[in-house]
Amino acid sequence: MRKILLLNILLLYFISNAQEKETDNFPPPEVPLEIQAIRAINPVKIDGVLNEVDWQSAQPTTDFFRVEPVQGGTIKNPTEVQILYDDKNLYFGIFAADSLGKKGVRIQDLSRDFNGQENDVFGIQIDAQNTKQYAVSFQTTPYGNQQDVQNFNDTNRDEDWNALWRVRTQRTDQGYFAEFAIPFKSIRYDKPVAGIPVEWGITFFRLARRDYEKTVFPAIPQSFSENRMTYAAKLTGLEVPPPSANIRIEPYALYQFDENKAGNMLTSKLNQPKVGGDVKWAINPNAVLDLTINTDFAQADVDQAVNNLERFNIFFPERRQFFLENSGIWAGSNSSFVRPFFSRTIGLSNSFNATPAPLDAGARYTDRDENRTLAALVVRQREIDNSPGSTFGVARYTKNYGEENNFGAMLTYRRDDGISELNLNSTNNTTLTLDGLIRPKSELSINYFLSASTDSETKDKGFAGQFFIGNTTNKYYLGYLNNFVSKDYAPDMGFVSQNDVMYHSPGGYAIIRPKKLPFIRRWDPGAFVNYYHDFENFGNFQQASIYIFPIFTWFKDNSFVEASFTPTWQNINFDFAPLGLEIDSGTYNYTRYLLRYNTDRSKKFSGSISYDFGNFYNGTRITVTGGLRYAPVPHIALTADYEHNNINALGTFQEYLDTDLYTASLRLALNPRVQLSTFYQYNSFDQQGRWNVRFSWEYMPLSFIYLVFNDTQTNVFDPIQQSTQFISKITFLKQF
């Protein structure tokens, strides 16, 4: 394995030395640019027209900076931003010029929290407390879709944070207009001090998707995003109202029908009305308390089926909004290898075959200012058959120092009640985690955490951690990632992909923008090493691979092609049977090859295909995936995806296996607030098919009516198991 490490070092050396010494990264300005907001004298109607007299007196901001397809130079699609305010709202008026006008617009659907890489987008990022490490973003498209995002340190994004605000747009033959109204109550800011002018950090960005031209204000290097708030301009001229303790309530009522069958026999049936709700209380400019009672997640997206051929547990992301909001504040929240706190453990019974368990109540407290963040979460889970009730708690503290550095600690605690009838004693599980971020300079980031767990039932104590260092410039990326998990690390409120493992991943890639090949926007050749060994016994090798990608290229229209190969070494010394195919203990050496391509995803018709082939342990495997999407207008989007595995002569018994995974979805939208989405998936491996149909109507801002239908069948042509669910739900949001 020394040859692997030596080869990786040589690859990194050649990559780093193939670049110019000048990286085109520039430091944040010593004196930020300033832009001014003007008080509106007359009422502002949010209609996307910008015909009020006050807009004529608002100073326009036009000096955007191009970051894509190349950094700097003449902007093809100029943008103009004006800012007004009154006693209640902050207003932004935008004109996004486009030489093709309406015909130049690229947008795939009208969903909220849309894909920002596939559509025309304009966004506003605000750091009202001048932390330089945190921002909220308000984004829209030419059709008025809304997306609101929290960003932490330009690394973690929380796209499920929802604020109360409005936007309307108008498309013209010269481009499109957008008009935002963001209530001051939806922004957390410090109490103004008499005699000291209010100054907020602010950035703008626009993606003109047809040309893949991204522009920002103020100037930010290409290697960072618009959320790197150390580069932010100052928004001045504001006379903001003193922040008040505002309250947002969101009660709900629903009816739920569940039916489960085994063959033709009805095994269970449920007809149940339910009421509950959430409360958000902004106690002061820094502190927010969220309460949830009789929590329900009926409208949450369903997980899609996956055929796992690897030796690690699959990581399924959280999809429930209460837990997604502010999720970036928890230690290790950006890791899918090990997380000391993973909210998907909440709402599952403490049993071998974990089943969903209802939540009685929960509370989350967040207190953030420019110096530190304090957060806590407590949830009570109800007792169900053969599984006790549980109480979950997590507390978090982060201290900021310097411009972009922080240090923090996190404590999790889970207590499962005892049940005397089942001879179950009360148990508890605790983790303590220390973590931090260090940015000596804008290009260099160092992240780390160290976590310890203890369990009252097993008496085991375990450890886990992560260390990452990465240098990102306009010309290259170089980085090293290390994860380790001890044999006895068991966070009952966390996620672990594998115990007793240490993982090393050094690697990097060049970022080449060839001037002599104008049809190529970016070419990133490089390599990453992945090396695993036991944590308890460092000398015990588990597996290694070198992912080498000489062709990793985006074209001018952002279509993409990859050609890569991955030499792999495996040491199997445990029971391992991917998809039920038993693999003998021993060592294996094989190479996998990958070819993949996707067209321009912003077009009405787009597609993707990948061909993954080569040896696989002692056999061979071919995996083909393909996808098509047709969106003739933004109101209609139809997608179809397919995955096929062909496995030959694999394992102890030289077995053969073919699997097919079919997925189709249809989204229909009257406008961004009235939508119907359907999803169907069939997996030939377990002969399971599943339907999810969801209608949503945002009849008032952030107030919804949902109709949801779910159906899962095993052996769909002659069902041996079937679960059917129908839910109708109404929510109402009121902000005081």
| 689-714 pLDDT, tens digit each | 999 999 999 999 889 999 999 999 98
Percent of residues, the chain, with pLDDT higher than 90 = 63
Q: Are strands 233-238 and 34-36 parallel, antiparallel or unpaired?
A: parallel
Q: What is the pLDDT of residue 295?
A: 80
**Burial class of 275 by CB neighbour count within 10 A (0 to 12, 13 to 18, 19+):** exposed
Q: What is the pLDDT of residue 12?
A: 45
Contacts of 421 (CB under 8 A, 6+ apart): none
Q: What is the pLDDT of residue 19?
A: 40
| 319-364 pLDDT, tens digit each | 677 777 777 788 777 788 899 998 888 887 665 455 678 889 999 9
Q: What is the pLDDT of residue 310?
A: 81
- What's the token pair of residue 124? 């506003």
The four Cα atoms 33, 38, 44, 46 give a dihedral, to 10 degrees, of: 0
Q: Output phi, psi for 329, to 5 deg.
A: -85, -15
Between these two residues, 264 and 707, which has the higher pLDDT value?
707
Angstrom distance (rounded) from CA 471 to CA 441: 9
DSSP codes joined into one string, 597-628: EE--TTSSEEEEEEEEEEEETTEEEEEEEEEE
Amino acid in position 353? N
**340, 464 Cβ separation under 8 angstroms:** yes
DSSP 190: P
| 74-87 pLDDT, tens digit each | 999 999 999 999 99
Lowest-confidence region among 123-127, 239-243, 504-508, 603-607 = 239-243
**570, 583 Cβ separation under 8 angstroms:** no
Amino acid in position 564? S
Contacts of 504 (CB under 8 A, 6+ apart): 480, 481, 482, 529, 530, 531, 532
| 207-256 pLDDT, tens digit each | 999 999 999 999 999 989 999 999 999 999 999 888 776 888 999 999 99
Pick from 701, 642, 626, 630: nearest CA to 668: 630
| 429-488 pLDDT, tens digit each | 999 999 999 999 888 999 999 999 999 999 999 999 999 999 999 999 999 999 999 999
Q: Output phi, psi for 428, to 5 deg.
A: -145, 155
Would you give the distance in Å from CA 159 to the centre of its chain?
A: 6
* Cis status, amide bond into 218, omega within 30 of 0: yes
Pick from 284, 287, 282, 203: nearest CA to 246: 282
DSSP 493: T
Which range of 148-152, 166-170, 183-187 scores highest in mean pLDDT? It is 166-170
Place of tokens 């921002």: 135
Q: Give the side-chain half-sphere CA count within 13 A for 679.
A: 14
Identify how many contiguous H helices and E strands the chain contains and give both numbers.
Answer: 3, 42
Distances (CA, A) of 327 to 394, 412, 528, 580, 632: 12, 14, 29, 35, 36
* Cis status, amide bond into 672, omega within 30 of 0: no
Res. 407: pLDDT tops 90: yes
Angstrom distance (rounded) from CA 117 to CA 694: 25
Q: What is the pLDDT of residue 8?
A: 47
Q: What is the pLDDT of residue 336?
A: 81
Angstrom distance (rounded) from CA 158 to CA 366: 15
Q: Work out the pLDDT band at 11, boundaries 50, 70, 90.
A: very low
Angstrom distance (rounded) from CA 357 to CA 522: 48
Q: Work out the pLDDT band at 196, boundaries 50, 70, 90.
A: confident
Q: Work out the pLDDT band at 136, boundaries 50, 70, 90.
A: very high
DSSP codes joined into one string, 298-348: TTSPPPPP----SSS---PPP--HHHHTTGGGSTTTT-SSEES--GGGTTB
Per-residue burial over 614-638, b = 16 or more CB atoms within 10 Å of its CB, e = otherwise = bbbbebebebebebbbebeebbebe
| 379-390 pLDDT, tens digit each | 999 888 777 889
**Maximum distance among all alpha carbons in the chain?**
81
Res. 632: pLDDT tops 70: yes
